[in-house]
Structure 1
């Protein structure tokens, strides 16, 4: 069974077009719309469609809406998509077709023209490159909210998902680091409907995205972060030692401090790596069992 989760906040215009199309293409699917305390007619509209509606008493954020929908979804596969008119019901088939090839998650990748603005496109490009380095795999679109995921594996990481707009970042990096199969397929992303506004704040949510990348990176591969920092301290200590030796002919306390810091940071990373292995073992056992 297929479940389609759509978080919505003041998206009456978009839902009025999207939900009927989904019903036409997937009449047997379960549509779960999470109303994140909308102030317009979103709730009344979706209730008239006869779909499952989850209403938040106050606005909790896009990630919290996804988690609410995920808890109630009964399908083996969930498709997450936005309600603002950017994602097309026709493209769900592209994600599902790729998922059937054996992938655990398929993400709809936006082109440069599909980005909301030049600034957003440049920021997403930076996030994609940084995330690719952290997880050791190419990440084409880290922040895309249009994806098809196997429900059981999605729920394994639900406790890690933030309540705001960083949930795509978290689940993407979590899947990569857990060793699950992730694929990207290009999709045609539409412009937002006239009169609708994005709830994403460029600077605040941009910083949050970077923090999420660090958080997930350290959660699944701590040495990926600790080792470069340790190397920086070691290189700085070595450079300062050479400078002090050539100028005053002695080994200074600052050099010793930098070398010790380098060793301590490395050991912290090593211990964190071992702790991560213990935390991760349950997911690994589930994967090895083929479940």
Structure 2
């Protein structure tokens, strides 16, 4: 009898009470409909939330791991990896809402052995965001340090073979985690692929909160690039 491949869907969340239930519901229903020849577990890592994120995730998640205080996205992703059992790990943002049902498209190239890491490219934003500095820094940094031409270097929606994560063995903190994973995976010789998938999440505008968010991203990405330059994985 053929053994089903096991997929772990890991969702880091910090104060996402407005979106988490809809996101998890979409993943849960899609997994039930699409996973005919693979099995899924749904893991939420509550990264020190102070709102109702945990209680709203309870009806849908197979496992919820709670950090006692906010540790950052990279730490939350690593906690999810340690707690998971799957040979394929799917990382999704908590605010995808109903579009989280598209997660199975991330898995297809890995299951077909066409890629070891699949990164989602999202449709264009509906409202004006930042000036593109963070994305440009990430894009050029990834290319300079690995040779990979990324069009979605900051995308948090990605599927990764478990062995890739474990061989990399390190994750950057905060918003630099995706950039670091891409660089390390490419340098280790793994196949990385980008794929257009119609995910949609909360967009940050040009208000104070949006600029603060981008400032934190810029610092985190810059730090990650510096570390990958001074401490290359190989």
User: TM-score normalized by structure 1?
Assistant: 0.68
- How far, CA to CA, are the matches of 1:153 and 1:181 in structure 2? 10
Higher strand proportion (structure 1 or 2): 2
Distance 1:217 1:86, change over 3 A: farther
- Residue in 2 aligned with 1:58? 69
Contact 1:114 1:188 in 2 (8 A): no
2:190 pairs with 1:180 = yes
**Aligned-pair CA distance for 1:55:** 0.4
Larger radius of gyration: 1
Ranked by relative contact order (alpha carbons within 8 Å, sequence separation 6 or more), the top structure is: 2
- How far, CA to CA, are the matches of 1:125 and 1:169 in structure 2? 12
**Aligned-pair CA distance for 1:172:** 0.6
Q: Deviations over 1:79-127 (max 9, x none)?
A: 00000126822321221112223211000013443787132x3420332
- Residue in 1 aligned with 2:93? 82
**Aligned-pair CA distance for 1:208:** 2.4
- Residue in 1 aligned with 2:156? 145
Contact 1:84 1:193 in 2 (8 A): no
Q: CA RMSD in A?
A: 2.5
Higher helix proportion (structure 1 or 2): 1
Aligned length: 218
Q: 1:42 aligns with which of 45, 48, 53?
A: 53
Q: 2:78 aligns with which of 67, 72, 86?
A: 67
- Residue in 2 aligned with 1:29? 40
Contact 1:114 1:189 in 2 (8 A): no
**Aligned-pair CA distance for 1:177:** 0.9
Residue correspondence of structure 1 range 79-158 to structure 2 within 5 A: 79-85=90-96, 88-102=99-113, 103-113=115-125, 117-119=129-131, 121-158=132-169
Gaps of 5+ in 2: 1-5, 33-38
- How far, CA to CA, are the matches of 1:201 and 1:98 in structure 2? 32
- Residue in 1 aligned with 2:22? 17
Contact 1:13 1:193 in 2 (8 A): no
**Aligned-pair CA distance for 1:61:** 0.8
Distance 1:198 1:20, change over 3 A: farther
- How far, CA to CA, are the matches of 1:214 and 1:64 in structure 2? 19
**1:10 counterpart SS class:** coil
User: TM-score normalized by structure 2?
Assistant: 0.83
Residue correspondence of structure 1 range 173-252 to structure 2 within 5 A: 173-192=183-202, 201-220=213-232
Contact 1:4 1:79 in 2 (8 A): yes
**Aligned-pair CA distance for 1:8:** 0.5
- How far, CA to CA, are the matches of 2:119 and 2:135 in structure 1? 15
- How far, CA to CA, are the matches of 1:151 and 1:219 in structure 2? 22
Distance 1:31 1:25, change over 3 A: same
2:165 pairs with 1:165 = no
